A and B are shown apart, each in its own frame.
Chain A
Amino acid sequence: MTRRVRMAVLGPALLGLGALFAWAIAGLPAFGDYRGPYGYVLNRIVVPLRHTTNVVMATTFDVRGVDTMGEEFILYAAVIGVTLLLRDESGARRVERKTRRLRSDAVRLVGVGMVGGGLLVGLWLVAFGYITPGGGFPGGVVLAGAILVLYLVGSHRDYRPFRNEHALDPFEGIGAGGYVVTGLAALASGLPFLANLFGKGTTGTLLSGGSIGILNAAAGLAVAFAMLLLFAEFLETYVIPLEPEDAAS
Chain B
Amino acid sequence: MIVAGTLVPLQVVAFALVALGAPLVVLTRDPLRQALVNGVYGVSLVLLFVVLAAPDPALSMLVVSGIAYPLVILAAVARVRGERRRSKKTSDD
Touch A–B, Cβ below 8 Å: yes
**Interface residues in chain A, defined as those with a beta carbon under 8 Å from any beta carbon in chain B:** 54, 56-57, 125, 132-135, 137-138, 141-142, 144-145, 148, 227, 230-231, 234-235, 237-238, 240-243
Closest 9 CB pairs of A and B: A241-B82, A133-B55, A234-B75, A141-B63, A145-B67, A138-B63, A138-B59, A56-B56, A238-B75
Minimal Cβ-Cβ distance residue in B for A231: B71
The reply to whether B72 and A125 form a contact with Cβ atoms under 8 Å apart is no
Minimal Cβ-Cβ distance residue in A for B67: A145
B78 — which chain A residues lie within 8 A by C-beta? 238
How many contacts between A and B, using CB within 8 angstroms? 58
Q: Which single member of B54, B59, B75 contacts A237 (CB below 8 Å)?
A: B75
A54 — which chain B residues lie within 8 A by C-beta? 56
The reply to whether B76 and A234 form a contact with Cβ atoms under 8 Å apart is yes
Do most interface residues of chain B lie in helix, strand or loop, or is the interface mixed? helix
**Interface residues in chain B, defined as those with a beta carbon under 8 Å from any beta carbon in chain A:** 1-2, 54-56, 58-60, 62-64, 67-68, 71-72, 75-76, 78-79, 82-83, 86
Q: Which single member of A135, A141, A144, A238 contacts B79 (CB below 8 Å)?
A: A238
The reply to whether A133 and B72 form a contact with Cβ atoms under 8 Å apart is no
The reply to whether A142 and B63 form a contact with Cβ atoms under 8 Å apart is yes
A144 — which chain B residues lie within 8 A by C-beta? 67
The reply to whether A241 and B56 form a contact with Cβ atoms under 8 Å apart is no
Q: Which single member of A227, A235, A242 contacts B82 (CB below 8 Å)?
A: A242
In the bound assembly, the distance between CA atoms of A57 and B58 in angstroms comes to 13
B54 — which chain A residues lie within 8 A by C-beta? 56
Interface centre among B54, B56, B62, B72 (most CB of A within 10 A): B56
The reply to whether B59 and A125 form a contact with Cβ atoms under 8 Å apart is yes
The reply to whether A137 and B86 form a contact with Cβ atoms under 8 Å apart is no
